[in-house]
Structure 1
Amino acid sequence: MIEHHSPTPLYHRIYAVMRERIIKGYYRSDTPVPSEAELAESFSVSRITIRRAMEMLTMEGLVTRARGRGTFITDRSNENELNRAVVSNVNGLFRYLNAVGESTRLKVVSLDVGEAPPRICAQMGLPPTAELVRAVRVRSLDRRPYSLSIAYLLPEIGGTLKRNDLATTNMIDLVQQAGAVVEQVEQTLTATLADDYAAKHLDIPVGAPLMLVNRLFFNAELKPFYAAEIFYCADRYEYRVSLKREDGKDFALGN
């Protein structure tokens, strides 16, 4: 039963619960999910409320409605290879980025020069009003938005970028073609929510859960020259790390 005393609309709370169930594999893909009447009884709400929640799931591509057959979980098996990549070093990251590039399509949203956000300037060790080249792109997988990436680059590197190249080539390849040497990459993963900008380009509701991957690229002098913020729909992205014990590096926990 859904708690009714909340400022969040009831249909949106049911949408969030259903979305989590779908992502966690609560429903089988070869059988229809419960009907609107069954869900209305389960959640103790009206069918209209359930219908609005299901419409949001349909718009997001998580479910598919088949007339006369019911509503089914959308098959996302083609995404598994990208979603479950294991990255352990810079070369592994490059291999992963190449695999993503081969499996997705790019759309360039914008390419411009302007004052960078304070958080990016702080990451790159630049003055708060520094100007950087900004490139915004959307990747699509199976005709659905897969990620929204915002790249910030020093002018001496980003100034060589061309819009046509951005539509066909991985950014990491473009910056190396511009003469940059990637010596080190720092990466952080954070859970966040879609604002109006991300929601628009990823075709999801405002407030939908996202995974934010922030990457900071360092040159041969270990100075940052490129920062990237990549937003992934939470149900389409999974990051895995494999940890192995090193020979001769065993240690014992203290008492």
Structure 2
Amino acid sequence: MAMAVREQVNGVRVGVRYAVADHAGELGGDWYLCTPLPGGDVMLAVGDVMGHGRPAATTMVQLRAAMTRLALAGDDPGTILAALNRMLCRRPVTTLATAVCGRFRPADHSLTWSRAGHLPILRATHGRVNVLAQPSGMALGVDPGARYASARIVVEAGDLLLMYTDGVVEQRDRAIDQGVQGLVDDVRLALRVSAPGERLRTALDYAHRRNPDDDACLLAAEPV
């Protein structure tokens, strides 16, 4: 995967890799968010607007800006996704998107997250890589009355969290679960070979983009 961004936000080390579709001359709708919040929390998210071109890119910018605004106002992840869903459902032309967002609280190392039809978060800890349980929540833009449940875990020191769009794991003629397992295997190998303090960078380097025909975004985060 191509572009890499690494930064530290409110006690969380964050790295992102982003790649556009090989064949696409148009902008896509994949996006990520890493926003420091009042009180020391951090909002982490990735999302994917269906399609390419100006409509997808414009919607992506709008969703990202709205999520930032709502997170800064103190809304929880489930409330944020419900608001984004209503925003898309009000449009005269159907626009669909998926997203996962989590509020990390360094004070107690807790992550509270919600998802809208999106792929599960991965958690790497002590040589193991697991798929987190998925709270219920349909894709954005389908049902204006949809509700988005939340889940909560404690992220221990040394844990690594990964959020990603389907371009990272999707493969032709293979189930999406197989692609997710492929990413799990990539990260597991990265943990075995990474030097101390380099887990996040190595995990991003070892993640193989499985669908060159789609945009791909991978965000990794670990408490400092």
TM-score, normalised to structure 2, is: 0.31
Give the number of the structure whose residues are more often strand, by fraction.
Answer: 2
Give the number of the structure whose residues are more often helix, by fraction.
Answer: 1
TM-score, normalised to structure 1, is: 0.29
Structure with more relative contact order (C-alpha pairs < 8 Å, separation 6 or more):
2
Q: Larger C-alpha radius of gyration, 1 or 2? A: 1
